[in-house]
């Protein structure tokens, strides 16, 4: 399907004349298939933090638009990522997260693999002509990392992650994100298109309404970026990673630059991930597109490593977890209403506000990168 040409043109007009994207952008399975081909299978996507797999044999399985994959730390301590299926007849090998104890054993006919992906055992295969163990190891994916954040890519020869991130590392240099440690995560299922989640996460137009009982009204400024990411900063001299009313329990990170002291940064690292970077912590919204109308949203929270040793860490960190979950659920709630209404046969794209600049930018990045 092709989106309506006039509606697409209106969506890319200068902001004071621009309209929302056509409904099909969010509701059409063919658009989703195109995004899968051009975005999800070509670009880097965030998986987790390195320290979430501290020991040899630790693994985490992920369902992605390219199928099930598994991240695993080998006996040699190296992190690798593989398609999560057995080379015999394709059973899923690992689920959830855990430690495979050095061998991955297929639950179907018990072929087994080393934690570095090489085939180890394959019972009753002695008659199979031309069977080669070396050729029947797990199928690898490209993997790269920055400051402990691990990304994968289905492309065989992707451009380096650092090129994708552009000037993001400079922007967050003073936050010392390499010292962040993930201490918490939740997963929310949303009956909405993946782009609605990220558009919503890049505007403060809605916060005084949808989040009136939690974070409340906010003001933001848009920052210039280079690379495949966009950024706003919500202006507040205090971290907004906890609810207003009481001061944030943890102190600001030492050595923050003057810009970083002014507020919390909200980004989209295209195509599917948000890093939110505050003065005292960072959290992510990692969106997995499930279908044109379903998304899985993982919210993960991190603190500077020297906070984790405090005797009151768990008690103080709870205020952050509460805020991240409450606001996340409020957002998913409104997005499900929006998705439902976008399916109306009478739907016509509405006009955008100046506060929707990043909503427009996100849509245009998708249009440009999918050739819509």
Which positions touch Fe ion (CB under 5 A)? 331
* Residue 106 sits in the site that holds ligand FES (CB under 6 A): yes
Angstrom distance (rounded) from CA 360 to CA 328? 22
The smaller minimum CB distance to Fe ion, of residues 62 and 284, is found at: 284
The smaller minimum CB distance to ligand FES, of residues 48 and 106, is found at: 106
Of the candidate spans 1-9, 85-93, 131-139, 172-180, the one that interacts with ligand FES by CB under 6 A turns out to be 85-93
| Interface pick for ligand FES out of 33, 75, 108, 173 (rule CB under 6 A) | 108
- Picked from ligand FES, Fe ion, none, the partner binding residue 255 (CB below 5 to 8 A depending on kind) is none
Shortest CB 327 distance to Fe ion, Å = 6
- Picked from Fe ion, ligand FES, none, the partner binding residue 331 (CB below 5 to 8 A depending on kind) is Fe ion
* Residue 200 C-beta-side C-alpha neighbours within 13 Å: 28
Find the length of the chain.
Answer: 372
Shortest CB 90 distance to ligand FES, Å = 6
The smaller minimum CB distance to ligand FES, of residues 82 and 324, is found at: 82
| Interface pick for ligand FES out of 34, 38, 42, 88 (rule CB under 6 A) | 88
The smaller minimum CB distance to ligand FES, of residues 6 and 95, is found at: 95
CB-based contact 281:250 (threshold 8 Å): yes
Angstrom distance (rounded) from CA 12 to CA 187? 33
**Segments in the chain forming alpha helices (H):** 5-11, 24-27, 29-35, 161-165, 168-171, 194-200, 207-210, 258-261, 313-342, 357-370
* Residue 86 sits in the site that holds ligand FES (CB under 6 A): yes
Q: Which residue is nearest to Fe ion (CB)?
A: 331
Query: Would you give the DSSP letter of residue 78?
Result: -
Residues 6+ apart with CB under 8 A from 200: 206, 331, 334, 335
Residues 6+ apart with CB under 8 A from 261: 237, 252, 279
- Picked from ligand FES, Fe ion, none, the partner binding residue 106 (CB below 5 to 8 A depending on kind) is ligand FES
């Amino acid at each position: 399907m092709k989106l309506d040409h006039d509606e697409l043109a209106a969506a890319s007009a200068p902001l004071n004349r621009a309209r929302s994207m056509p409904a099909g952008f969010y509701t059409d399975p063919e658009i989703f298939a195109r995004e899968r081909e051009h975005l999800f299978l070509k670009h880097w996507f965030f998986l987790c933090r390195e320290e979430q797999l501290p020991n040899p044999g630790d693994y985490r399985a992920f369902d992605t638009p390219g199928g099930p994959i598994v991240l695993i730390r080998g006996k040699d301590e190296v992190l690798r990522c593989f398609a999560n299926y057995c080379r015999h007849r394709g059973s899923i090998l690992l689920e959830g997260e855990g430690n495979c104890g050095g061998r991955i054993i297929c639950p179907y006919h018990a072929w087994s693999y080393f934690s570095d992906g090489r085939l180890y055992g394959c019972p009753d295969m002695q008659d199979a002509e031309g069977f080669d163990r070396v050729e029947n190891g797990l199928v690898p994916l490209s993997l790269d990392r920055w400051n402990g954040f691990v990304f994968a890519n289905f492309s065989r020869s992707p451009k380096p992650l650092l090129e994708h991130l552009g000037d993001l590392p400079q922007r967050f240099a003073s936050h010392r994100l390499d010292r962040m440690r993930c201490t918490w995560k939740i997963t929310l299922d949303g009956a909405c298109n993946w782009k609605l989640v990220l558009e919503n996460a890049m505007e403060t137009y809605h916060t005084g309404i949808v989040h009136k009982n939690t974070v409340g009204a906010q003001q933001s400024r848009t920052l210039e970026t280079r690379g495949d990411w966009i950024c706003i900063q919500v202006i507040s001299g205090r971290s907004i990673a906890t609810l207003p009313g009481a001061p944030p329990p943890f102190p600001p990170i030492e050595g923050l630059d003057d810009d970083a002291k002014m507020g919390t940064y909200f980004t989209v690292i295209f195509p599917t991930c948000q890093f939110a970077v505050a003065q005292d912590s960072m959290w992510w919204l990692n969106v997995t597109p499930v279908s044109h109308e379903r998304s899985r949203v993982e919210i993960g929270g991190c603190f500077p490593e020297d906070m984790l040793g405090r005797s009151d860490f768990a008690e103080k960190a709870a205020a952050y977890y509460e805020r991240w979950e409450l606001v996340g659920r409020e957002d998913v709630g409104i997005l499900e209403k929006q998705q439902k209404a976008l399916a109306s046969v009478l739907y016509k794209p509405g006009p955008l506000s100046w506060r929707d600049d990043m909503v427009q930018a996100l849509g245009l990045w998708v249009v440009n990168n999918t050739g819509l």
